[in-house]
Amino acid sequence: MANAGHPSRQPPLLYKDFPFHISDTNTNITVMGVFTQVYDTPAAVPPARLFKAMTLDFHNLFPKLVDTIHSIEFTQGNGGPGTIKKITTIQELDECVNEMSMGAGEESKYVLHRVDAIDEGSFVYNFSIIDGSGLPETLEKISFESQLVEGSNGGTVRKVHATYFTKGEAVLSEEELKANQAKIQGLVKLVEGYLLANPHY
C-alpha cells in the first residue's frame, strides 16, 4: 500500500493505491521542483464507455470534439507503453496576426504525449507530456496517472494523480494548478456530454 499522497508508480496505479475518498475536493502537494495534484471527476456514463472514448479512441475522437485540437498522430508505437502521440493544437492569437501560422490570427503548437501504462481491464491509463512547443518553458514534463472506477447510478469517477516537474527554481501558483485541473476536468465533461448524446458510440 502506498503512503498517503504518494501512490505507487510500479505496477501501474490502481484504485487501491489512492488513499483518497471520492469527493469534489482536491489535494495539492508541493516539493521543490515537483508539484502534485490529486482529484476526482464524476461522469454519468459507465467506465468502459469513458475509457474507450478518452483512451482507446482518443486520437480519433478528440480532434472532432475539441475545437483547438487540429490533429493527433502516432509517431512511435501502436498504443501500448512507450507509444508517442503528437497532438497539434490551433489557437487564436490575442495580439498581432501571425501570417505564418495555420490561418490569420491563429497559432499552431504541439505536444508529445507518451503512454506510460495502459490496462483495459482495470481502466488504468498513465501518460506524460514530455516535449513540444505547447509545453510551457518552465516545465520538464507533466505526468498523469489515472483510473476510472465505478460511480453512483452506473456512472464513473475518474481519479487522477498529476505531477508537474519544473525546471530550475520555477514554481507553479495555486491559480495555475487550479486552471490546469479545470481544463482536464472540462475535457471529461465534454466527452461525457458526447457519450450521453450518442448512446451507440
pTM here is 0.79
- Whole-angstrom distance, CA of residue 134 vs CA of residue 111: 5
How many angstroms separate the CA atoms of 28 and 178, rounded? 10
Tell me: the pLDDT tens digits for 19-57? 333 334 466 555 558 999 999 999 999 999 999 999 999
Are residues 110 and 129 in contact, defined by beta-carbon separation less than 8 angstroms?
A: no
173: alpha, beta or left, given left = phi > 0 and alpha = psi -120 to 50? beta
Q: Kindly state the DSSP code that residue 55 receives in the 8-state scheme.
A: I
pLDDT at position 106 over 90? no
Output the DSSP codes for 22-42.
Answer: SSS--EEEEETTEEEEEEEEE
Candidates 1.10.443.10, 3.30.530.20, 3.40.50.620, 3.40.50.920; CATH matching 15-66+119-197: 3.30.530.20
Q: In angstroms, rounded to a whole number, what is the distance separating the alpha carbons of residues 21 and 12? A: 19
pLDDT at 33: 87
161/117 Cα distance (integer angstroms): 14
Q: What is the mean pLDDT of residues 100-114?
A: 76
More confident residue, 96 or 167: 167
Residue 134 has pLDDT above 60, yes or no: yes
DSSP symbol at 189: H
Looking at the chain, the whole-number percentage of residues with pLDDT higher than 70 is 77
- Spatial separation of the C-alpha atoms in residues 146 and 123, rounded to whole Å: 8
Helix axes 58-65, 174-197, angle to 10 degrees: 100
Q: What is the pLDDT of residue 107?
A: 87
Q: 102-116, 121-135, 163-177 — which is least confidently predicted?
A: 102-116
Q: What is the pLDDT of residue 4?
A: 43
Cα–Cα distance, 159 to 54 (Å, whole number): 13
For residues 125 and 54, give the distance between their C-alpha atoms in angstroms, rounded to a whole number: 9
pLDDT of residue 102: 47
pLDDT (mean) for 180-187: 96
Averaged pLDDT, 109-136: 98
Peptide bond into 12 cis (omega under 30): no
Q: Confidence class of residue 93 from pLDDT cuts 50, 70 and 90?
A: low
